[in-house]
Structure 1
Amino acid sequence: MSITDFLTDLTNPDLAFLPKALAIAVMSSVVCGVVGCYVVLRGMAFIGDAVAHAVFPGLAVAFVLQGSLVLGGAVAGIATALLVAIFAQNRRVREDSLIGVFLVASFALGIVIISRAPGYAGSLQQFLFGSITGIPDEDLYVVGITGLVILGLVFLLHKELVSVSLDREMSRAVGLPVFWLDILLYVLVTLAVVISLQTIGNILVLALLITPAAAARLLTDQLGVMMLLAPLMGGGSALVGLYLSWSYDTPVGGTIVLVATALFLTAWLLAPRHGLLARRWRRDRGTVAIGTGGAISAPVDAGGGGVSA
C-alpha cells in the first residue's frame, strides 16, 4: 500500500477507527518516550513490565462492569505502585523482588476476574495484544488529557525526578522527598502504560516505554536531547508501525514494537559515539597508534571515552 492510499484510508468515513487508532498510538508513544527516559536512567525497566501486569485486574473489572478501561487500569496500577513504594521502604527485601511479587499476584487476579466474563478468550486476546478497532471517541479525550497531565508533571518536577533517578541517597541527603517522588514516578509509569494498552496490548507495552528511550540513550549524552529524541522515536515508530500493519495486515502492536526495535538496533550499531562501529573504530585506531609508538598513555575505553595525552 502506498502512503497516498494510507492517507486516503485515514480520511475515509467508513474507517473511522483508523485515525483514532493513529492518534492514540502516537500520543501514547510520545508520553511513553518521555517517561521511559526516567525509567532507563534509573535502570528499572522491570517496573514497566510490573505495571503493565498490575493494571490487568483493573482492566478486567472495568470490562466486566462495562466501565472505562483507562480508569480501571489506572486505579489498579496506582494501587499496586503505592504498595510497591510502601513495601520498598523496608530495605530487607529489594525493590525488584517486591515488584516481582505484586506483578504475578496482580496478573493472576486479572485472569481470575476476566475468566468470569462472557467472551473470555476474545477479551483476553484484546487485552494482551491490543486492538485498533472499537476504540470509543471518549478515549481520545482521556488519552489526550492524561498525556498532557503527565507531561505537565514531568516539566514541573524534572530536576527532582532526574536527581532521584540518578542518585537516591544523595537526593535524600539534600532533603528531597524521595518516597513521594518514587510514588510519583510509579504513577507516571502507570498512566503512560494504561493509555498505551489499547493499541499495543498488555504484553508489548513495555517495549514502547523502554525501547525508544534506550535508543535515544545510545545517541546522546545530554539528558535534554535524550528526552527530545525518545518521544520523537516513539511517535515515529507508532506512525510507521501502524502504516506497515495496515498495509500488510499484521498485528499493530507487534509491528510498532518491531519498528521501535529496528531503530534501537540501528542506534546500537551506528550511533556516532556509543555505537558498535564507532567504538570498534576508536579501539582499532588506539591499537594502531600504540603499535606505531604514538604518545598515548591510556587506551581508548570501550564505552567511547576520550584519549588522554
Structure 2
Amino acid sequence: MSLLLDPFAVAFVQRALLGGALVAVVCGVVGTWVVLRGMAFLGEAMAHGMLPGVAVATLVGFPPMAGAAVSAAAMSIGVGVLQRRGRLSADTSIGLLFVASLSLGIIVISASRSFATDASAILFGDILAIGAGDLLALGVALAVTLVVAALGHRAFVALTVDPRQAQLLGLRPRAAHVVLVGLVTLAVVSAYQAVGSLLVVGMLLGPAVAAGRWTRRIVPTMVLAAAIGIVSVAAGLLLSWHLATAAGATVAFTAICSGAVSTGIHALLGALRRPHADALPTLPTFPERTA
C-alpha cells in the first residue's frame, strides 16, 4: 500500500491528481459526444490548432491558456467559414486548417532559439506543474461544461440521431453543432496544461470508448467515462512516479489503454457467456392451431 499512497503524499502530486480528475470529468462528458458524433478528427485538429496561440502567448508573456483559447476558437470559426463559404466538406476544411495551424506553430517556435523547454511543455503538457490558479480555471471549465451539456442535452441527442427531425422539432441543429464544437474547444483547452496539445485527444477518446462497452445510455456513459478517466489519471501518475517517465504522456497513454483493456474484458466476458447460452436446452416448439 505504501507504494500506492506514498506518491500522493507529495503536494504537487496531489494538485496533479486533482487537476487531472477535473480534466477527466470534462473529457468524460465531452468525449462521449465526440465518440457518438464521430468528431475525433475535429478534436485532434483543435488540439494542434492551439499550438500557434500558445507559442505566441509564451513569447509575448501572456498566459499560455489564453493563447490556447484564442487559437482554438479561431480554428473552430475557420472550420465553419470554410464549410459555408468555401463549400468544402468538414474533413477537408478541418484538414486544411489543422496543417496550417500546426505549421504556423512550428514556425513560431523555430523562430525563437530559447523556446526548446517551453515547446516540450506545449506538446506533452506538465501536469505536475498544475497550480492553484490552474485548478480554479479547471473548476470553472467543468462547471461551464456541465451546465451547457445539461441545457443542450435534448438538442445534442436529436442532432446525433436525426438532424432533420431535430430541425422539425425546432431544436436548431446548426446551433447545437456550434455549441458542441465549443464544448470540444473548451475541453481541449482545459486539458492542455495536463497532457499537452499532442496528447489531449487520448483523454477525450480513451475513457469514452472504454465506457461505451458497458452502457448504451448517454448519461451513464458520461459518468462511467469520467470515473475511468480519474482512475487513468491516478494510475498514470503512479506509473510515472515509479518508472520516472513523463507524467502527461503516461496519463494519456493510460487513458488510451483503458479503452483497449475495457474492450478486451468485454470480449472475454462475452466469450465466457456464449458456451453457457449454447448449453441451455432448447424449448420444444408446437404447431400453430388452425381454425
Query: With structure 2 as the length reference, what TM-score do the two structures score?
Result: 0.88
- Equivalent residue number for residue 100 of structure 1: 95
| CA-to-aligned-CA distance 1:126-150 (integer Å, 9 cap, x gap) | 1111123544432221121122111
In the alignment, is the contact (CA less than 8 A) between 2:8 and 2:14 conserved in 1?
no
In the alignment, is the contact (CA less than 8 A) between 2:20 and 2:127 conserved in 1?
no
Task: State the 1:263 CA deviation.
Answer: 2.3
Tell me, in whole angstroms, the C-alpha distance in 2 between the residues paired with 1:26 and 1:45. 21
Give the alignment's Cα RMSD to 1 decimal. 2.4
Tell me, in whole angstroms, the C-alpha distance in 1 between the residues paired with 2:128 and 2:120. 13
Task: State the 1:114 CA deviation.
Answer: 2.4
In the alignment, is the contact (CA less than 8 A) between 1:204 and 1:257 conserved in 2?
yes
Q: Which moved more, 1:236-245 or 1:211-220?
A: 236-245
**Is the counterpart of residue 218 in structure 1 residue 213 in structure 2?**
yes
- Equivalent residue number for residue 233 of structure 1: 228
Task: State the 1:283 CA deviation.
Answer: 6.0
| CA-to-aligned-CA distance 1:28-51 (integer Å, 9 cap, x gap) | 111011100111111221111011
- Equivalent residue number for residue 7 of structure 1: 8
Q: 1:295 to 1:197 in 2, by over 3 A?
A: farther
Q: 1:26 to 1:75 in 2, by over 3 A?
A: same
- Equivalent residue number for residue 277 of structure 1: 268
Tell me, in whole angstroms, the C-alpha distance in 2 between the residues paired with 1:180 and 1:165. 13
Query: With structure 1 as the length reference, what TM-score do the two structures score?
Result: 0.83
Q: 1:101 to 1:277 in 2, by over 3 A?
A: same
Q: In percent, how many aligned pairs have the same letter?
A: 34
Structure with greater helix percent: 2
Please, which of 259, 263, 271 is the counterpart of residue 268 of structure 1?
263
**Is the counterpart of residue 176 in structure 1 residue 171 in structure 2?**
yes
Q: 1:170 to 1:133 in 2, by over 3 A?
A: same
Task: State the 1:101 CA deviation.
Answer: 1.0
What is the 5 A alignment of 1:123-134?
Answer: 123-134=118-129
In the alignment, is the contact (CA less than 8 A) between 2:233 and 2:251 conserved in 1?
yes
SS in structure 2 at match of 1:207: helix
**Is the counterpart of residue 80 in structure 1 residue 75 in structure 2?**
yes
In the alignment, is the contact (CA less than 8 A) between 1:84 and 1:98 conserved in 2?
yes
Q: 1:46 to 1:284 in 2, by over 3 A?
A: farther
In the alignment, is the contact (CA less than 8 A) between 1:244 and 1:255 conserved in 2?
yes
- Equivalent residue number for residue 251 of structure 2: 256
- Equivalent residue number for residue 150 of structure 1: 145
SS in structure 2 at match of 1:176: coil
Unaligned runs of 5+ residues in structure 1 are 11-16, 297-309
One-letter code of the match for 2:208? Answer: A
- Equivalent residue number for residue 50 of structure 2: 55
Q: Which moved more, 1:137-146 or 1:111-120?
A: 111-120
One-letter code of the match for 2:30? Answer: V
In the alignment, is the contact (CA less than 8 A) between 1:78 and 1:186 conserved in 2?
no
One-letter code of the match for 1:204? Answer: L
Task: State the 1:218 CA deviation.
Answer: 0.8
In the alignment, is the contact (CA less than 8 A) between 1:38 and 1:162 conserved in 2?
no
| CA-to-aligned-CA distance 1:72-107 (integer Å, 9 cap, x gap) | 111111121122123334695321121111111111
- Equivalent residue number for residue 157 of structure 2: 162
Please, which of 35, 44, 63 is the counterpart of residue 40 of structure 1?
35
Q: 1:132 to 1:5 in 2, by over 3 A?
A: same
Q: 1:280 to 1:91 in 2, by over 3 A?
A: farther
- Equivalent residue number for residue 288 of structure 2: none
Tell me, in whole angstroms, the C-alpha distance in 2 between the residues paired with 1:54 and 1:258. 21
Q: 1:221 to 1:134 in 2, by over 3 A?
A: closer
Q: Which moved more, 1:91-100 or 1:210-219?
A: 91-100
| CA-to-aligned-CA distance 1:13-71 (integer Å, 9 cap, x gap) | xxxx3333222211111101110011111122111101101111111111111111111
In the alignment, is the contact (CA less than 8 A) between 1:41 and 1:166 conserved in 2?
no
In the alignment, is the contact (CA less than 8 A) between 1:61 and 1:72 conserved in 2?
yes
In the alignment, is the contact (CA less than 8 A) between 1:59 and 1:72 conserved in 2?
yes
